[in-house]
């Protein structure tokens, strides 16, 4: 890899996120992508392209990048058997214990805000070893001390079957690692333009801050070219608006 | 025998008030032309079951006042955002939501299709999804020590309703790899299907089509409806989602007035065409 680093000015935030997530997927056997996940979807497709097609990727809602033949249940059956290494979950709220809320704010029977629902999180968070949390609005409103509704808990009692759980959390401001022993987030890197202080100002829960927190690396020119070419075309099948907004791509008929 | 009916109104008449109805997600096969006919009939009190989620068609039914229970893992318009009528109805308390997680819906339907009282599954323990479902129980795994699992009772819809590419005159319906439609048809008491085309011959004659075909045994009644999934697409056909229309729906349905205008234009206004 002799590609030179790209200049910061022409790299978009989404491209940094895609690159960062893809780095957590390299070498895995099978990565699955769920609903409303254009950035993780692009990251998974990037990891697959870089693996020489050794990493399998299944994208929910895709006809071109989904090899399941047994209907909607197969993703979950596959995950339950341990055949899926990584998955992505978000939350209207995510708290410092890595609990996620995809349902509502306030009383669930008469909520102040209602979101689509928990999707597969009430299962996949428990059984997929490497669940990468993503929340592309990093504020005290979204990253809270305690969620209003637990779609799926970050951690479980010792007698609950739990081979899976949180591996990392990426936001539009930073990347957190997860300390599974201490059940806490640890600030790993801040995206360009952010600081340790700006993360603290915008985060509603406690987390650990190491002495040195680097800036999240930018994708190199080769990675950017792959993302803006092949990956943009692939993700446009499922997320045409995203592909148009980020990569300026219209879906081919 | 599968009843072949002519015209969507005759099929819509079989969707009765209070029915529990299994619906596919937007990327599977949605019988949207049929749902427009059902709304025109003014059906009430439906219990929608998303398999495992639903989108545009469920939001349309909720907005039109046809629904009192939504049992689903999510309601979403995908890239077009929140389902506005679902969101408004939940906030107003005018529908009851039975929140689920995707594999729990599949587990309930699979118990129903095999005639078993329940399925068991991992996950869910410690979630508010489980805490709010009195009908699901945590039980001990009888084959291990100290291993709680969740029992999901059989989920038996009155009706499974969907759209598919083709069927033959025996009522065999080709669904390709969209096998959640197969599970829905197995689990439901009755199944209503619209298809792009009723073809001559027997879809069971060729193993290549037979593998992706629901036997007529499970199909109560069906009708032809060209572009019957519009504004959604249909897998394994040339029909793709009409994203411009869906974006317009998402915008108009944000207010009650906008939704009423949408219904007048797209649902009641399409009667002659459908």
Asked if A118 and B78 come within 8 Å (Cβ–Cβ), the reply is: no
User: pLDDT value at position B274?
Assistant: 61
Output DSSP code: residue B264: I
- Note the pLDDT tens digit of each residue in B144-180: 999 999 999 999 999 999 999 999 999 999 999 999 9
pLDDT for B269 beyond 70: yes
Q: Do B101 and A121 touch (CB under 8 A)?
A: yes
Q: Which residue of A lies nearest to B82 if distances are taken between CA atoms? A: A116
Q: Give the nearest chain A residue to B96 (CA atoms).
A: A109
Contact B73 A120 (CB under 8 A): yes
Q: Name B221's bridge partners.
A: B3, B192
Choosing among A38, A58, A72, A115, which should be mutated to test the B contact, i.e. which has the most B CBs within 10 A?
Answer: A72
Question: Would you call A127 and B53 a contact, using CB atoms and an 8 Å cutoff?
Answer: no
* pLDDT score at A3: 43
Is residue A4 pLDDT above 80, yes or no?
A: no
Residue range A51-60: mean pLDDT, rounded: 94
Q: What is the pTM of this model?
A: 0.95
Separation in Å, CA of A7 to nearest CA in chain B = 31
Measured in angstroms, the CA of B28 and the nearest CA of chain A are apart by 8
pLDDT tens digits for range B178-210: 999 999 999 999 999 999 999 999 999 999 999
Percent of chain A with pLDDT over 90: 87
Asked if B99 has any chain A CB less than 8 Å from its own CB, the reply is yes
Yes or no: say if A9 and A227 are a contact pair by the CB < 8 Å rule.
Answer: no
Q: Name the average pLDDT for chain A.
A: 94
Contact call for A119 and B121, based on CB within 8 A: no
Neighbouring C-alpha atoms within 13 Å toward the C-beta of A9: 0
Residue B4 touches partner A, C-beta closer than 8 Å: no
Measure the CA–CA gap between A114 and B91, rounded to whole angstroms: 7
pLDDT, mean of residues A176-193: 97
A-chain CB neighbours of B72 within 8 Å are: 117
Contact list, A100 vs chain B (CB under 8 Å):
none
A57-96 burial, b at 16+ Cβ within 10 Å, e below that, comes to: bbbbbbeebbebeebbbbbbebbbeeebbbbbbbbbbbbb
Model confidence at A1, pLDDT cuts 50, 70, 90, reads very low
- A-chain residues within 8 Å CB-CB of B28? 72
| Minimal-distance CA residue of chain B relative to A165 | B123
Interface A–B counts its CB contacts (< 8 A) at: 157
Contact A239, A216 (CB under 8 A): no
* Chain B residues within an 8 Å CB radius of A125: 123
B32 touches chain A (CB under 8 A): no
Residue B231, preceding peptide bond in cis (omega within 30° of 0): yes
**A153-to-B123, B127, B150, B241 alpha-carbon distances in Å:** 10, 6, 16, 35
> What pLDDT, on the 0 to 100 scale, is given for residue A7?
53
Phi, psi of B214, rounded to the nearest 5 degrees: -85, 125
Whether residue B122 and residue A118 make contact (CB cut-off 8 A), yes or no, is no
Q: Is the CB of B28 less than 8 angstroms away from the CB of A151? A: no
Between β-strands B96-99 and B67-72, what pairing exists: parallel, antiparallel or unpaired? parallel
**CA distance to partner chain A, nearest, from residue B36 (Å):** 23
If 0-12 CB within 10 Å is exposed, 13-18 middle and 19+ buried, where does residue B98 land? Answer: middle
Among the listed residues A216, A203, A195, the one whose alpha carbon sits nearest the alpha carbon of residue A24 = A216
As for the ipTM of the complex, it is 0.95
Q: Which residues in A lie closer than 8 A to residue B182 (C-beta atoms)?
A: 71
Helix (H, G, I), strand (E, B) or coil at A210: coil
Q: Which of B104, B121, B180 sits opposite A72 (nearest CB)?
A: B180
Say what the pLDDT of residue B272 is: 53
- pLDDT tens, position by position, A102-127: 999 999 999 999 999 999 999 999 99
Of A109, A123, A241, the CB nearest to B123: A123
- Report yes or no: B27 at the A interface, CB cutoff 8 Å: yes
Task: Identify the pLDDT of residue B271.
Answer: 61
At A253 the pLDDT is: 41
pLDDT for the residue numbered B273: 56
**pLDDT tens-place string over residues A196-249:** 999 999 999 999 999 999 999 999 999 999 999 999 999 999 898 899 999 998
What's chain B's average pLDDT?
A: 96
- Residues in A closer than 8 angstroms to B187, CB to CB, are none
pLDDT for residue A6 is more than 60:
no
């Amino acid at each position: 890899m002799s590609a030179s680093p790209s200049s910061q000015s022409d790299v978009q935030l989404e491209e940094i996120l895609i690159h960062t997530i893809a780095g957590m997927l390299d070498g895995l056997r099978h990565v699955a992508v769920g609903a409303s996940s254009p950035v993780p979807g692009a990251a998974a497709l990037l990891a697959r392209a870089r693996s020489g097609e050794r990493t399998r990727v299944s994208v929910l809602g895709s006809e071109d990048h989904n090899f399941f033949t047994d209907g909607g249940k197969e993703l979950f059956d596959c995950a339950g058997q341990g055949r899926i290494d990584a998955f992505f979950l978000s939350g209207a709220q995510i708290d410092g214990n890595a609990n996620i809320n995809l349902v509502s704010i306030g009383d669930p029977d008469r909520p102040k805000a209602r979101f689509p629902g928990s999707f597969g999180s009430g299962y996949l968070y428990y059984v997929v070893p490497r669940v990468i949390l993503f929340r592309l609005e990093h504020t005290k409103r979204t990253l809270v001390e305690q969620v209003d509704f637990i779609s799926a808990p970050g951690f479980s009692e010792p007698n609950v079957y739990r081979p899976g759980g949180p591996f990392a959390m990426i936001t539009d401001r930073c990347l957190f690692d997860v300390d599974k022993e201490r059940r806490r987030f640890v600030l790993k890197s801040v995206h360009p333009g952010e600081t340790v202080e700006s993360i603290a100002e915008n985060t509603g829960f406690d987390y650990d801050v190491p002495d040195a927190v680097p800036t999240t690396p930018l994708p190199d020119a080769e990675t950017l070219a792959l993302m803006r070419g092949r990956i943009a075309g692939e993700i446009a099948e499922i997320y045409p608006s995203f592909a148009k907004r980020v990569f300026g791509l219209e879906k081919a008929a | 025998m599968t009843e072949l009916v002519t015209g969507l109104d005759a099929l819509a008449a079989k969707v009765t008030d209070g029915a529990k109805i299994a619906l596919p997600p937007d990327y599977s096969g949605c019988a949207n032309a049929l749902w427009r006919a059902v709304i025109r009939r003014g059906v009430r009190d439906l219990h929608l079951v998303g398999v495992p989620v639903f989108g545009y068609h469920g939001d349309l039914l909720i907005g039109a006042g046809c629904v009192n229970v939504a049992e689903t893992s999510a309601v979403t318009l995908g890239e077009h955002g929140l389902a506005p009528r679902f969101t408004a109805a939940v906030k107003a308390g005018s529908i009851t939501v039975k929140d689920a997680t995707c594999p729990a819906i599949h587990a309930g339907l699979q118990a129903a299709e095999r005639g078993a009282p329940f399925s068991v599954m991992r996950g869910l323990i410690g979630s508010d999804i489980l805490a709010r479902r009195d009908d699901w129980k945590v039980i001990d795994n009888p084959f291990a020590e100290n291993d709680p699992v969740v029992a999901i009772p059989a989920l038996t819809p009155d009706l499974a309703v969907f759209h598919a590419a083709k069927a033959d005159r025996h009522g065999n319906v080709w669904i390709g790899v969209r096998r959640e439609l197969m599970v829905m048809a197995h689990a439901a008491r009755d199944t209503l299907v619209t298809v792009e085309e009723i073809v001559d011959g027997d879809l069971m004659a060729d193993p290549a089509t037979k593998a992706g075909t629901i036997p007529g045994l499970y199909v109560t009644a069906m009708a032809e409806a060209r572009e019957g999934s519009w504004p959604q697409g249909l897998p394994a056909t040339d029909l793709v989602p009409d994203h411009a229309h869906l974006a317009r729906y998402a915008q108009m349905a944000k207010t009650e007035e906008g939704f009423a205008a949408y219904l007048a234009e797209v649902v009641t206004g399409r009667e002659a065409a459908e």
